[in-house]
């Protein structure tokens, strides 16, 4: 087979019934990835943690966002504050992982910052001309919460999370009873520290469609009645809903008395997924973050009233369903490198059924529009 000629790329149109996917090189090109950092990752809202882990002044969580490391901390006025994790002296990272501090103290030269970001001590600076501690506060980033989930945005001019996700909060409250009472009980990841060996868009592509589910996820398709499965898009987010589920299935067992009887999967542009499956109230909030062009971290928090470590449900979600999806994504990434492939059609239908790929098309259009809006004018 002859290699695809990328000069003959077919268009990503606004109609999924006549459109083609974004081309393969968008998943493989370092230049595209560099554009995505500035156009997407540094301009949009990303999940960083849950308020239950930030309950006391000094509690903090960190996050790697493309090339930037950031953290959110609760200050002495009980406000959540977000900052670049970079000392204003010589750029050393200030905190690591999650934890609690009295003040923010740089491990390198011991510059000390208040929890609100102001520099309060810099040793041996008294003889420096025009040195004013007020000039060296930490660079702040935007922080907002949604049903207890904490989001950050590096763009100081970005519109609010609520305005970017119209209807999402109401939808979460509809399908997750007692969502505000849940706590982060564990941190979980697909693929462990190694992550998934695929571009971040491959992972999102796989997440936002269930056209593959009956073939690739047999237990999932027993748990959910796929003939009733629904898939809808709403502005900057989409939702998959399995309204009909089966008690008898090969995934795990649950009771008709449990508070959650449906499967619901939300994708929030560009990197957040919120996942609910039948049983006791439990929500997995996971972030799809690139660690480089070809590797993706898919990790986050399990929210519940109590830990389900070792449970059949959690084991199935991460070790069976998650493993199946990882294998799919890594196989696709290999195929995208083939000289034989460039684009494919979206398999969609006019009824926008639950097994259609119209949410995949929706995601590709969001990527296209973001890159078009912020593409350098010299191109």
Say what percent of the chain tops pLDDT 70. 97
Q: Which residue has the tokens 């950050």?
A: 152
pLDDT tier, 1 (very low <50, low <70, confident <90, very high otherwise): very low
Amino acid 310: pLDDT: 73
Task: Using the predicted structure, report yes or no on whether residue 2 has a pLDDT greater than 90.
Answer: no
Return mean pLDDT, the chain: 95
Amino acid 379: pLDDT: 46
Average pLDDT for 80-107? 98
Average pLDDT for 327-335? 98
Average pLDDT for 276-280? 97
pLDDT digits (tens, 9 = 90+) for 12-53: 999 999 999 999 999 999 999 999 999 999 999 999 999 999
CATH class of 166-371: alpha beta
CA dihedral sign of residues 315, 321, 322, 327? positive
Burial class (CB in 10 A: 0-12, 13-18, 19+), 304: buried
Amino acid 346: pLDDT: 97
Q: What is the DSSP letter of 37?
A: I
Amino acid 361: pLDDT: 98
pLDDT digits (tens, 9 = 90+) for 155-206: 999 999 999 999 999 999 999 999 999 999 999 998 888 899 999 999 999 9
Contact of 361 with 16, CB cutoff 8 Å: yes
Interior angle at CA 244, CA 243 and CA 247, nearest 5:
135
Residue range(s) of every CATH 2.102.10.10 domain in the chain: 46-146
Burial class (CB in 10 A: 0-12, 13-18, 19+), 52: middle
Q: Which of the listed CATH numbers 3.30.465.10, 3.40.50.300, 3.40.50.2300, 2.102.10.10 matches domain 46-146?
A: 2.102.10.10
3-state DSSP assignment of residue 118 = coil
Residue range(s) of every CATH 3.90.380.10 domain in the chain: 166-371
pLDDT digits (tens, 9 = 90+) for 198-208: 999 999 999 99
Average pLDDT for 251-266? 97
Amino acid 376: pLDDT: 60
Amino acid 377: pLDDT: 55
């Amino acid at each position: 087979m002859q290699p695809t000629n990328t000069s003959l790329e077919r268009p990503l149109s606004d109609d999924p019934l006549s459109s083609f996917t974004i081309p393969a090189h968008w998943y493989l090109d370092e230049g595209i990835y560099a554009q995505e950092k500035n156009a997407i990752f540094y301009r949009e809202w990303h999940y960083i943690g849950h308020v239950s882990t930030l309950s006391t002044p000094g509690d903090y969580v960190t996050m790697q966002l493309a090339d930037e490391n950031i953290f959110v901390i609760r200050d002495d006025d009980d406000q959540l504050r977000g900052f670049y994790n970079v000392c204003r002296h010589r750029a050393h990272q200030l905190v690591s992982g999650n934890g609690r501090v009295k003040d923010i103290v740089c491990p390198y030269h011991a510059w000390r910052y208040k929890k609100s970001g102001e520099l309060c001590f810099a040793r041996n600076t008294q003889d420096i001309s025009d040195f004013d501690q007020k000039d060296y506060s930490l660079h702040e980033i935007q922080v907002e919460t949604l049903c207890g989930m904490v989001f950050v945005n590096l763009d100081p001019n970005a519109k609010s999370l609520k305005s970017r996700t119209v209807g999402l909060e109401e939808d979460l409250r509809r399908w997750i009873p007692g969502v505000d009472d849940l706590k982060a009980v564990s941190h979980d990841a697909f693929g462990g520290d190694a992550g998934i060996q695929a571009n971040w868009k491959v992972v999102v592509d796989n997440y936002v469609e269930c056209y593959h589910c009956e073939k690739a996820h047999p237990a999932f398709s027993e748990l959910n009645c796929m003939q009733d499965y629904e898939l809808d898009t709403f502005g900057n987010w989409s939702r998959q809903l399995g309204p009909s589920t089966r008690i008898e299935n090969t995934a795990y067992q649950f009771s008709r008395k449990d508070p959650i009887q449906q499967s619901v999967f939300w994708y929030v542009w560009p990197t957040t997924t919120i996942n609910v499956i039948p049983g006791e109230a439990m929500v997995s909030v996971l972030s799809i973050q690139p660690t480089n062009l070809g590797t993706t971290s898919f990790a986050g928090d399990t929210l519940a009233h109590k830990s389900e470590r070792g449970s059949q449900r959690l084991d199935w979600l991460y070790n069976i369903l998650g493993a199946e999806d990882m294998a799919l994504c890594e196989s696709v990434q290999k195929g995208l490198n083939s000289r034989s492939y460039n684009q494919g059609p979206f398999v969609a239908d006019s009824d926008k059924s639950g097994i259609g790929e119209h949410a995949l098309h929706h995601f590709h259009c969001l990527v296209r529009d973001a890159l078009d809006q912020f593409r350098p004018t010299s191109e």
